[in-house]
Amino acid sequence: MTIETSNLHIRHFSKHEHLARVGDPQRVVYKIQEGWACRYSIVPDGRRQITAVYLPGDFCEPQWLLAGKAQLPIIAITPMTVTEIPLENIYAQPGKAVQDLLGAMLKAFNRQTDWIVSLGRKSAKARVQEFLLELHRRLHASDAVSVHRCTIPLTQQDMADVLGLTAVHVNRVLKDLRKSGAISLRGKTLSLGHNERVQTEPATSGAPHMLIRPAREPMLA
């Protein structure tokens, strides 16, 4: 992307290893090269809610630039390869890197807004469908992905924790979607049906983005 790629530390995380824990001071943000991760919260009764999913190409997490610490834990869903982007450098000489990170933060913000709408006002079936289509779209944007096929390394429990459902119900909904031909997730392979490839546009993060105001951006000089 646009963040300078010289002198970057490469780092690996194994499956289920934490990239950050609650309250950890963060001196870097990660740019994900390979693998998936998620941010989550555990509620008092022990259940988990995933509040963000990080894919290759994503920053994890842009808001560390502002907060300087992790408000919620981040865990690797698969083995990961990331590059470390030191925040000190960015503080010292703000430039395009700041714009990239703030742009990514705005995207994450809009994605959260869309997710609130889904959780509050959409059925389980619509949420599953929308989530899988979003994953496909995001993978397609950064990476080379077939138009109607991609790999989703999430368990049904992971998806349930994103979708605010139980794993059992996710399973039933996936069966329904498979039967109705819209979307098929068999094993880790997601296949999109012919007609259902275009639909369920999100309210905010789906628009072709103009992230930073064209004239006189504040963060550049």
Partner DNA sequence: CGTTTAATTGAAAACCGTCAAAGTGCGTGG
Partner DNA sequence: CCACGCACTTTGACGGTTTTCAATTAAACG
**Least separation, in Å, of the C-beta of 125 and a second copy?**
13
* Residue among 85 and 163 whose Cβ is closer to DNA: 163
* Residue among 16 and 69 whose Cβ is closer to DNA: 16
- Single out the residue of 3, 216, 1, 210 nearest to residue 98, CA to CA: 3
Q: How far apart are CA 193 and CA 177, in angstroms?
A: 10
The binding track of 160-179 with respect to a second copy, each residue x by CB under 8 A or -, is -x-xx---------------
Contact indicator for 174, 156 with CB cutoff of 8 Å: yes
- Single out the residue of 193, 143, 165 nearest to residue 36, CA to CA: 143
What are the structure tokens assigned to 214, written together?
């064209």
Q: How far apart are CA 135 and CA 193, in angstroms?
A: 15
| Span interacting with a second copy, options 64-72, 139-147, 169-177, 178-186, rule CB under 8 A | 64-72
Can you tell me which of 33, 51, 78, 171 binds a second copy, judged by CB under 8 A?
51
Amino acid identity, residue 198?
V
Site residues (CB under 8 A) for a second copy? 39, 41, 43, 47-49, 51-52, 63, 65-69, 71-72, 87-88, 90-92, 94, 98, 102-103, 105-106, 108-110, 112-113, 115-117, 119-122, 161, 163-164, 203-204, 207, 210-219
